[in-house]
Each structure stands twice: as structure tokens, then as C-alpha cells.
């Protein structure tokens, strides 16, 4: 299966460089380029890429605004967003996750890392490391400023096992780490996580983490050092 990518960056030179890097992989093709957020939204609707590689700072409409618009459109659920920026601040990462991005990386990464990042996002996984997930969720997502904090009834659609998986995902564990902890196969873990995402209408793993905190399924530790399931 070929991963179809849309590049959104206001610098044509960078778009060209990213295109060259990505198309060194046999399973990735760049289907379009956008110079600003508005064009990124329009091309996403037209081309339906699997992954949109989105810069944050662009003229007219910035990347976070474009990400929010794409993520809010149910017809674009198949297009996942990877934020690629030089501004790797905690606040930007948190805003990107809230907007609906599936991952966040810096422009200083190597060619192999960029290719792996696109594959990861295309597979529906979040790109943030477990440590970054724990830190960011504890600081910014546990007390969102744009939504009520607790909606525990939203979790009623999940089985006990699915709730357990969502809680472990929210603590920053990968599928492999969850599998080792629960004595399950990674395939089984992925199946449980995917079913939970479908039931909760989460676009990707990052949004599943947000839901876990907003519903109170998982809480930040008092000292901020980590997270704990409820």
C-alpha cells in the first residue's frame, strides 16, 4: 500500500527537499504541495491524502488553524496530520494535539526519521514518545481550556478490556509495551485500541489520549512526574 502525502509549508525550497526525502521510499508518494493553511485544507478535500505534513507558521491561515479545520471535517477522517516545524515548544505540541494532529516532529530530523514518521502517522499511531506524551498531557490536556473536564459517560461504549487499553495508551505506553505488560500479542493490543478509537470516534491515538484525560479515565500525578489510571 502506498502512503499518499500532502506537503504544507510556505517555503518552496523546503517542500522540494521534503518531497525528495519522502519519495526515496517505495511506499510513499507526494500527491500535492500547499504554500499556506488555506491551500492545505482545500487540497486535502480535493486529494484526500493519507498524511498531511503540516508546518505551523504559514501566511494567511497557519498550520494549527488548518489542522483544526481538517480534523473537524468528518469527510476527511482518512487524512491524518503530522506537524513538522522548527518551533518545538511544549505549548505548540499541546495545541497541535488539541487541534487533531497525530504527531509532532522538528524539521531537524533525518531522512529516515521523516519517512518513519509518515508511516507511523499513516498507520494511525501517535508519533510522540511516551515521555513526551506523559509530560504534555499532564501539563496541558488534563485541564483543557475549551471543554468540560469530565465526561465519564462517554466511556460506557467500551468493554472493560478496551477501557484498560485506553488508560495504558494515555500513560504513554506503546502497543509493544502494553503487550508485554498484559501478556498479549501486539496484534491483539492494536485490535483493542483500534476498536476503542472507533467507538469513541477518535481520529488517531493522540486524540484517544486526550479523551482519556478529559473523561477522567486517567489523571496526572500530583507531582507531575507521570500519570495514573483512575
170 alpha carbon, distance to own chain's centre: 13
* Number of other CB atoms surrounding residue 161 within 10 Å: 14
Does the residue 163 lie in any domain? yes
Instruction: Look at phi and psi of residue 100 and say left if phi exceeds 0, alpha if psi is from -120 to 50, else beta.
Output: left
Does the residue 131 lie in any domain? no
Enclosing domain of residue 85? 3-126
**At how many degrees (to 10) do helices 186-200 and 160-170 cross?**
100
Phi, psi of 112 (to 5 degrees): -65, -40
- pLDDT tens-digit map of 99-141: 888 888 877 777 888 898 899 889 877 776 444 555 565 565 5
- pLDDT tens-digit map of 178-214: 889 999 998 899 899 989 999 998 877 777 887 888 8
* Domains held by the chain: number: 2
Does the residue 132 lie in any domain? no
Assign residue 189 the CATH number of its domain: 3.40.50.2300
- pLDDT tens-digit map of 24-64: 999 999 999 999 999 999 999 999 999 999 999 998 899 99
44 alpha carbon, distance to own chain's centre: 17
Does the residue 78 lie in any domain? yes
Query: How far apart, in whole angstroms, are the C-alpha atoms of residue 220 and residue 18?
Result: 37
Query: How far apart, in whole angstroms, are the C-alpha atoms of residue 89 and residue 66?
Result: 19
| 22 in Cβ contact with 16 (< 8 Å) | no
Indicate the pTM of the whole model.
0.68
Amino acid at each position: 500500500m502506498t502512503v499518499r502525502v500532502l506537503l504544507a509549508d510556505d517555503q518552496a525550497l523546503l517542500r522540494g527537499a521534503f518531497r525528495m526525502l519522502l519519495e526515496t521510499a517505495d511506499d510513499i508518494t507526494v500527491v500535492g504541495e500547499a504554500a499556506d493553511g488555506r491551500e492545505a485544507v482545500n487540497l486535502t478535500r480535493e486529494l484526500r491524502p493519507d498524511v498531511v505534513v503540516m508546518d505551523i507558521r504559514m501566511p494567511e491561515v497557519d498550520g494549527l488553524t488548518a489542522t483544526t479545520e481538517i480534523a473537524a471535517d468528518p469527510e476527511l477522517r482518512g487524512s491524518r496530520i503530522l506537524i513538522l516545524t522548527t518551533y518545538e515548544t511544549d505549548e505548540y505540541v499541546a495545541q497541535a494535539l488539541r487541534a487533531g494532529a497525530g504527531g509532532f516532529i522538528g524539521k531537524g530530523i533525518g531522512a529516515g526519521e521523516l519517512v518513519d514518521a509518515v508511516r507511523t502517522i499513516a498507520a494511525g499511531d501517535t508519533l510522540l514518545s511516551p515521555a513526551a506524551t506523559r509530560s504534555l498531557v499532564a501539563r496541558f490536556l488534563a485541564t483543557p481550556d475549551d471543554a468540560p473536564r469530565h465526561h465519564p459517560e462517554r466511556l460506557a461504549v467500551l468493554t472493560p478490556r478496551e477501557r484498560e487499553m485506553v488508560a495504558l495508551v494515555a500513560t504513554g505506553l506503546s502497543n509493544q509495551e502494553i503487550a508485554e505488560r498484559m501478556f498479549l500479542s501486539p496484534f491483539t493490543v492494536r485490535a483493542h485500541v483500534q476498536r476503542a478509537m472507533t467507538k469513541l470516534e477518535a481520529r488517531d491515538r493522540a486524540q484517544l489520549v486526550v479523551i482519556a484525560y478529559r473523561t477522567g479515565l486517567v489523571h496526572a500525578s500530583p507531582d507531575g512526574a507521570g500519570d495514573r489510571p483512575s
